[in-house]
Structure 1
Amino acid sequence: MGHCFSSPRADEDETNSHAQLAGGNVTLITTKNAWDQKLAEAKTQGKIVIGNFSATWCGPCKSMAPYYIELSEKYPSLMFLTVDVDELTDFSTQLDVKATPTFFFFKDGQQIDKLVGANKPELQKKITAIVDSQATINP
C-alpha cells in the first residue's frame, strides 16, 4: 500500500501537477467554499461524494489518479472530487488527513466511510458497495 507522509523535496518538479490529479468527471477543489458548494449540490442531487485528498508530489497519489478518473467515468451517479492537501491544509487537518491519498465518502454532507492509501481493489470494493446500496434504495 502506498502512503505519502512527508512534504515534497525542494527539487521536485510540480509542472502540470493538478492535471495529474483531476480529469474525466473529477472536479479539482481548491477552496473550502468550493467543497461546501459541491457537497450541497450532491445532497440536492442525491449523490454520494468521494473526496480524494492527495498531493502533487505524492507518488502513490499520482499512480491512483488515472484509476480514480477512470472510476469517475464508470460511475456517473457518484460525485468525484480531488483536494490538494497542500492548498487546503487547514481543511485537510480538520478531516484528520494523516497520509495521502485518503479517500472520504460522504452522503448528505456526512462522512460515511474512509480509505487511507493507494489501494485500488479496496477503493473499487467500497465504490461497488455504495453503488449496490443505492440500487436497492432506488431501484
Structure 2
Amino acid sequence: FISNLVSLLTPRRRFLPFFILEHQKNRYFQSHSQFSSSSLFLLSFSVKIFNLSSLVVRLIKPLISKRELQKIDFIIFQANPNFQNIQMGSCVSKGKEDDDSVHKVEFSGGNVHLITTKESWDEKLAEAARDGKIVIANFSATWCGPCKIVAPFYIELSEKHPSLMFLIVDVDELSDFSSSWDIKATPTFFFLKNGEQIGKLVGANKPELQKKITSIIDSVPESPQRP
C-alpha cells in the first residue's frame, strides 16, 4: 500500500534512490520500535521524505500523532545530517495541546525577531530598508527537529552580526504566507536586501549557513551611514 501510494502521488523527479530509503527505514525500525505500527511509521516517513500532495497529507494526518512526526524529523536528521531537504508536505498545523509560547522560547532570543503576522513582516522589512540592513529570514516550525537543532546557532549568529536583521517566521502561524514563498522544507533561509531576494539556503547545515552569511556580507557593499 505504501509503495503504491508513493509511486502514484510523488513526482518522480523527487524520488530518492530506493536503496537510501530502504537503508534509512531499516535503521529506524531497528532502533525506534516505539512507533505505533510499521505501516504508520512508513506512511509518516513517506510524508516527511516525499512532497506528497496536500490532499494526501490531510487524509492521513489523523492517523499519525504529532509526537511521531517530531521523532521522525529528528531521527532522519540524526541519521544523516547532510540530508537537508526534509519535506514538510503541507505545513503541518500544530496540535491543540501546543503552547504558543513554545516557539518563542525555543527559536527566538538574541537579536532574532519572531514573525507571526504579515504586518510584523512588513514592518521589519521596512525597518531594515531604512537602516540599510540585509535581512535573513528563517522559515521554521515547532515540530521540525532540524529547526530546533540549528536555532541556538541562528541566535548566536544574530548576536555576532548586529549589522544584519535576523527574522524567524512561524510557518504554522503564517502558512499561506509561507506557501507564497514556496516553502517546501524547513528550515529555509532567505537573504533579502531592500525586500529583494539575494540568496537562499535550505536545511540546517550550520557551516553552510555561516558560509552563506559571510559571502553575503562580503559581496554586498555597506550602505552609507545616515547622518
Answer yes or no: same fold by TM over 0.5.
yes
**1:121 corresponds to:** 207
* Partner Cα distance (2:95, 2:115) in 1: 24
Q: Does 1:59 align with 2:145?
A: yes
Alignment root-mean-square deviation, CA: 2.2
Which residue number in structure 2 is paired with residue 5 of structure 1?
88
Check 1:133–1:89 CA distance in 2 against 1; reply closer, same or farther (3 A cut): same
Q: Which amino acid aligns with 2:128?
A: A
Identity %: 65
Contact 2:137 2:189 in 1 (8 A): yes
The within-5 A match list for 1:25-40 is 25-40=111-126
Change (3 A) 1:73 1:137: closer
Q: Which has the higher strand share?
A: 1
Q: Secondary structure at the match of 1:127?
A: helix
Structure 1 CA distance for aligned equivalents of residues 195 and 208 of structure 2: 22
Output the amino acid matched with 1:28: L
Instruction: Give, in angstroms, the shift of residue 138 of structure 1.
Output: 5.6
- How far the C-alpha of 1:137 sits from its partner, in A, is 4.5
Deviations 1:57-109 (A, max 9, x none): 10000001000000000000000000010000011000000000000000001
- Scaled by the length of structure 1, the TM-score of the pair is 0.89
Give the CA deviation at 1:13. 5.7
**What residue identity is the alignment partner of 1:44?**
R
Q: CA deviation at 1:5?
A: 2.0
The structure in which a higher percent of residues are helix is 2
Is the 2:113–2:166 contact (alpha carbons within 8 Å) kept by the matching residues of 1? yes
Greater RCO (CA < 8 Å, at least 6 residues apart)? 1
Return closer, same or farther for 1:121/1:17 CA change in 2, 3 Å cut-off: same
Count of residues paired in the alignment: 138
Kept after mapping to 1: 8 A contact 2:132/2:223? no
Q: What's the secondary structure of 1:16's corresponding residue?
A: helix
Q: Structure 2: give runs of 5+ residues left out of the alignment.
A: 1-82
Shift of 1:4: 4.9
Among residues 164, 169, 176, which one is paired with 1:90 in the alignment?
176
Larger Rg: 2
Deviation digits for residues 99-129 of structure 1, max 9, x if unmatched? 0000000000111111011111111001001
Alpha-carbon distance between aligned partners in 1 of 2:109 and 2:188, rounded to the nearest angstrom:
18
Structure 1 stretches of 5 or more lacking a match?
Answer: none
The ranges of structure 1 where at least 4 consecutive aligned residues each deviate by more than 4 angstroms after the TM superposition are 8-15, 136-139
